[in-house]
Amino acid sequence: MLPHSELLQLKRWNTPTIYNGWEQITKRDPAADAFNNEETRDFMPQMGPIVGYAVTIVIEPSNKSHRAANPNAGDEYRRYIAGVPGPKIVIVQDLDKPRVIGSFWGEVNSNIHRALGCVGTITDGAIRDVDEMTNAGFKALARRLCVGHAHVHPVSWNCEVEVFGTKIKPGDLIHADKHGFIVINPDEAPNLLDAARFMDANECNTVIPAARSSAGLSTDQVLANLGSSIGEFSKNVKTKFTREGEW
């Protein structure tokens, strides 16, 4: 796991910036891997990004048989959560989707999970008690809101899940905000902060200044400046991420 100081610094950047760094240090497909393939909704955008390690659970609120099948599942699930180092993000796969009828989350459960070291959740189901969850300091990305909890009960946990078209394993590093989320494999995490910082600085030192200093210039001058800055940007990326021994 990364030092907590690095997680705090990763939290300073938005998720697209993290993606920009991630795509430079991995050989995975930047058009298909690691991020949500379906639209998410951030119900607490004012809280900014969340960063943490995935803990997972599967629910099916429409099915009341789960409680009878394992009445101790709630205690067992919470013991699992408590046994994992934080910060943690709870990834909830709702088997009822797209017919979402009940929420695992509300005022009580968000406070319980906050006490167990969780900072938020990503669920492809629903949430409720948005104001109370916000007051608990517990951020949620979800499919929608709902009124009740229905027959919600843990079905399985500490397993690979799929939410918003993306598979997530326990222990994956998650960065999420109003744009969506990205899933970082443990072997990709050590260089992530430096790569994100570099990509942000590279943009700020090359293309963005050139684009914003076009007042009074002719079209040809603007295009020439942009072409030069884009070339410099690309050269910096190539130098940084292909230098012998780098990454």
Per-domain residue ranges of the chain: 4-186, 193-242
Mean pLDDT, to the nearest integer, of 205-224? 92
Helix axes 15-25, 219-242, angle to 10 degrees: 60
For residue 126, the model assigns a pLDDT of 96
Query: Residue 33 has what pLDDT?
Result: 84
Split at pLDDT 50, 70, 90, the class of 244 is: very low
Query: Is residue 1 within 8 Å of residue 170, measured between CB atoms?
Result: no
Supply the pLDDT for residue 176.
98
State the pLDDT at residue 84: 97
Helix (H), strand (E) at residue 134: helix 130-135
At a CB cut-off of 8 Å and minimum separation 6, what does 131 contact? none
User: Residues 180-185: what's their mean pLDDT?
Assistant: 96
In this predicted model, what pLDDT tens digit does every residue of 5-61 receive, in sequence order? 999 999 999 999 999 999 999 988 888 889 999 999 999 999 999 999 999 999 999
- Residue 218 pLDDT > 80: yes
Residue with tokens 């938005």: 14
Burial class (CB in 10 A: 0-12, 13-18, 19+), 44: buried
- Residue 246's pLDDT band (boundaries 50, 70, 90)? low
Cα–Cα distance, 110 to 105 (Å, whole number): 6
Which helix H or strand E contains 80, and what residues bound it?
Answer: helix 73-82
Segment 117-171, tens digit of pLDDT: 999 999 999 999 999 999 999 999 999 999 999 999 999 999 999 999 999 999 9
pLDDT for the residue 243 = 58
CATH superfamily name and code, 4-186: Ribonuclease E inhibitor RraA/RraA-like (3.50.30.40)
Single pTM value for the model: 0.92
Whole-angstrom distance, CA of residue 104 vs CA of residue 92: 8
How many C-beta atoms surround the C-beta of residue 223 within 10 A?
Answer: 12
Structure tokens at 53: 């390690």
Question: Residue 30: its pLDDT value, please?
Answer: 87
**Residue-wise pLDDT tens digits, 77-116:** 999 999 999 899 999 999 999 888 999 999 999 999 999 9
Q: Which two tokens stand for residue 156?
A: 């399985």
Is the preceding peptide bond at 85 cis, omega within 30 degrees of 0? no
Q: Is 163 helix (H, G, I), strand (E, B) or coil?
A: strand
